[in-house]
Amino acid sequence: ASTDDWRRRSIYQLVTDRFATSNDSSPTCDTDDRVYCGGTWQGIVNKLDYIQGMGFDAIWISPIVANVEGSTGDGESYHGYWTADQNSLNSHFGTADDLVALSSALHARGMYLMVDVVVNHMGGTSVPPDYSTLAPFNSESKFHPFCWITDYSNQTNVEHCWLGDNSVPLVDVNTEDDSVVDFFNSWIAGIVSNYSVDGIRIDTVKHVRQDFWSGFAEASAVYTVGEIFDGDVNYVSPYTKVLGGVLDYPTWYQLTSAFESTSGSLSNLVSTVQQAQSSYANGEFTAGSFLENQDNPRFQSITTDQGLVKNAMSWPFIQDGIPILYYGQEQGYTGGGDPANREALWLSGYVTQEKPLLQLVTSLNAARKAAIAANSNYLSTALTFPSVEGSTLAVLKYPMLALLTNGGSSSTPSWSVSGTGYDANEALIDVLTCTTYTADGSGGVSITGSAGEPVIILPTIAFNQTYCQSLS
């Protein structure tokens, strides 16, 4: 599927090993052990109702190819980022038929499959690594000479030296070598066609020369979203010219710091978003917007104030890009940094009732879908900030008006917003509570909220009321 096809989508990101088992069993899974816990592609198929029930219409799964086997000083390769053989699948997660069955099951529901892929490196188990264990590049000449990345301000160092550590060096592929480039271009085309993949998430993008990526993206012929783990818009933007989109790390930094406490800066979030809107090649429209992922402490390991949590969680669904929710957030998971943030989801029982954050996510997906349906230009309407005042923020992307606050759960926020585009006295609804409001004589909105929670306004006419009836 193309970049344009993905713009309206909403993505559920999962770590295959930790999402669901084939037979619905619930094996113990202590994240500190860093071992395979038993999740599979078949397990995902069994739980698609759970994902689709929240309104997601795409999933992003962790890497699929064969990895370093057995235990290392950094544990087992349950996450999938330590490739051993580019041309085989990771048998812990199932067979090729299972992966095809997953993509078929998704497509039968009108959902998309995004696969995580790693080009930059392969997984070693010693320094120097035993190159003969790697496939298909099994000689030193296909890799950059060993050196650790030591200087992130030196782009050559970032691209040619190695990530990882002495237990698991991430053996850096020589992506300047033409035969390596040719291999990867046909490899990605093969993955996309063999498993009917709709989009790819690309790992460690900033560790490979920028001009490698346009050919790779073209060869994939699908939407490509790249990971450039960096907070600086100026550093990230150039990559938006060579890929379908980027994971919006610059906004993520400001989103986290804006809502992690009641003293966070909303204006820093606003200015970073505006900078990204004007410097990314497609504005923020094709960027992946997220609050959590497998590399960073979960938001609720920083604060459990539910007012702050709900505001931060709302962000990816109300902004210009493609929302991504990292599995487990809907269940209120609180794991800290890697590996604690990779909890097994089966330990939650996949409960959907009386789960306020799961309900929030469901409402946010419903609101976004309704806004897309109501305004044929919604997906190309850049959000604006009609009001930024101390601890409150209004985000307008007509017909959606998101009223956010970082006042925390003991605050009673209020917003007064003009220039909304609503008609005089138009009937409005807060999608999260189904409370109704009326615009004033000039279309303005004045609302007092409660418990520091966000309010997500749509014209009542744009929102399917049966959704509200199903809430109670």
Residue tagged active-site, from 17, 76, 116, 203: 203
Nearer to ligand ABC, 224 or 381 (CB): 224
- Is there binding between residue 81 and ligand ABC (CB under 6 A)? yes
- Is there binding between residue 17 and ligand ABC (CB under 6 A)? no
* Burial group, residue 141, by CB count within 10 angstroms (0-12, 13-18, 19+): exposed
Whether 321 and 289 have beta carbons less than 8 Å apart is answered as yes
- Is there binding between residue 165 and ligand ABC (CB under 6 A)? yes
Among 17, 57, 116, 172, binds Ca ion (CB under 5 A): 172
Joined tokens for residue 235: 């550093």
- Is there binding between residue 294 and ligand ABC (CB under 6 A)? yes
Whether 42 and 94 have beta carbons less than 8 Å apart is answered as yes
What order do you get walking across the sheet with 121-123 strand by strand?
Answer: 121-123, 169-172, 163-164
- Is there binding between residue 12 and ligand ABC (CB under 6 A)? no
The site map against Ca ion for 97-136 (x = CB under 5 A) is -----------------------x----------------
Cβ neighbours for 60, distance < 8 A, ≥ 6 positions apart:
11, 12, 13, 14, 114, 115, 116, 199, 201, 324
- Is there binding between residue 295 and ligand ABC (CB under 6 A)? yes
Question: What, of ligand ABC, Ca ion, none, does residue 230 touch, CB below 5 to 8 Å by kind?
Answer: ligand ABC
Question: What, of Ca ion, ligand ABC, none, does residue 172 touch, CB below 5 to 8 Å by kind?
Answer: Ca ion
Stretch that binds ligand ABC, among 19-27, 53-61, 165-173, 260-268 (CB under 6 A): 165-173
- Is there binding between residue 339 and ligand ABC (CB under 6 A)? yes
- Is there binding between residue 168 and ligand ABC (CB under 6 A)? yes
The 3-state DSSP composition of the chain as helix, strand, coil percent (nearest 5) reads: 35, 20, 40
DSSP secondary structure of 399-465: TEEEEEE-S-TT---EEEE----PPTT-EEEETTTTEEEE--TTS-EEEE-STT--EEEEEGGGS-H
Residue 175 beta carbon to Ca ion: minimum distance, rounded to whole angstroms: 6
Residue with tokens 């989508």: 9
Asked about 292 being catalytic, the answer comes back as: no
- Is there binding between residue 85 and ligand ABC (CB under 6 A)? no
- Is there binding between residue 118 and ligand ABC (CB under 6 A)? yes
Residue tagged active-site, from 57, 76, 227, 430: 227
Among 5, 74, 85, 98, binds ligand ABC (CB under 6 A): 74
**CA distances from residue 376 to 114, 124, 145 in whole angstroms, order as listed:** 25, 50, 52
Among 207, 298, 310, 397, binds Ca ion (CB under 5 A): 207
Asked about 227 being catalytic, the answer comes back as: yes
Stretch that binds ligand ABC, among 191-199, 230-238, 370-378, 443-451 (CB under 6 A): 230-238
Stretch that binds ligand ABC, among 88-96, 137-145, 227-235, 314-322 (CB under 6 A): 227-235
Among 215, 231, 332, 444, binds ligand ABC (CB under 6 A): 231
Nearer to ligand ABC, 73 or 136 (CB): 73
Q: How far apart are CA 405 and CA 135, in angstroms?
A: 51
Stretch that binds ligand ABC, among 5-13, 163-171, 362-370, 378-386 (CB under 6 A): 163-171
**CA distances from residue 143 to 123, 159, 179, 434 in whole angstroms, order as listed:** 12, 12, 12, 57
Q: How far apart are CA 17 and CA 23, in angstroms?
A: 14
Cβ neighbours for 448, distance < 8 A, ≥ 6 positions apart:
412, 413, 414
Angle, vertex CA 210, rays to CA 206 and CA 212, nearest 5: 115
Helix 266-279 vs helix 249-259: crossing angle, to nearest 10 = 170
Nearer to Ca ion, 172 or 230 (CB): 172
Whether 375 and 384 have beta carbons less than 8 Å apart is answered as no
Question: What, of ligand ABC, Ca ion, none, does residue 310 touch, CB below 5 to 8 Å by kind?
Answer: none
Q: Which stretches of the chain bind ligand ABC, using CB under 6 A?
A: 74, 79, 81, 118, 152, 164-165, 168, 170, 203-204, 206, 227, 229-232, 294-295, 338-339
Known catalytic residues are 203, 227
